[in-house]
Amino acid sequence: MPSRFRSNLVNSCTGYKSCNLLGTIAADGTENLAIFNSVIHIGSNPPLLGFVLRPLTVKRDSYENLKAQGYFTVNHVHEAILFSAHQTSAKYEGEISEFAQTGLTPEYMNDFSAPYVKESTIKIGCRYENEYNIKENGCLLVIGRIQQIYVPEEMQHKDGWVQLDKARTLACNGLDGYALPKLLSRLAYARPHQEPKVLPDAH
């Protein structure tokens, strides 16, 4: 199988992925922004997320910054910033910030020492926690501990759940496809020998 064909197939066959911008800052103050489709939920208590980093990619700046500074931000991509978000994956030479290159705006909030993306609707501030080397292919699973979460009030339900389609958050389909999901329903906790039930809208 040709390498590009294989990459497209294997990257798209596992289902939809999250679509986020990782914001970091270097010791010299240079801000970095990079699109990632590998951010995942790891656990709620303690609140942890993870993302997979390829052995050698343009995203190495993000990794070096978050290791050195200890902090990074995760910012949802929505339709209006899709082109700018995708453009952060271009390999810019030298010390040029992807914020400046793509027109996205760095934003510092509540003394958090990594830049958020002002244009994003849902944003998370994380402290670097640990990393695991996936020896099968040399990738790294980086674990971050969530320290700050920003969600507009009208997108969060009374029970804490965030309705992502209200933020028009995108999902990734493979390496380069972007899709807009629409909520079908929330389902009640499943119990044996009971029909599945749709949760009433508790917003």
Asked if 44 interacts with a second copy (CB under 8 A), we say yes
Sequence letter at residue 91:
K
Asked if 15 interacts with a second copy (CB under 8 A), we say yes
Residues 68-127 that bind a second copy (CB under 8 A): 74, 76, 79, 82-84, 86-93, 101, 122, 124
Asked if 200 interacts with a second copy (CB under 8 A), we say no
Min dist CB 26 to a second copy, Å, is 19
Place of tokens 């990619």: 57
Residues 135-194 that bind a second copy (CB under 8 A): 135-137, 139, 141, 143, 145-146, 149, 151, 156-157, 159-165, 169-171, 173-192, 194
Give whole-number Cα distances, 157 to 9, 160, 186, 202, in Å: 36, 5, 12, 6
Min dist CB 106 to a second copy, Å, is 19
- Asked if 51 and 128 count as a contact pair (C-beta separation under 8 A), the reply is no
Asked if 67 interacts with a second copy (CB under 8 A), we say no
Using the contact rule CB under 8 A, the part of the chain among 22-30, 64-72, 109-117, 195-203 near a second copy is: 195-203
Token pair recorded at residue 59: 């995203």
Token pair recorded at residue 55: 């052995």
Q: What's the CA gap between 24 and 34, in Å, rounded?
A: 9
Token pair recorded at residue 71: 């902090």
Under DSSP, the state recorded for 166 is: G
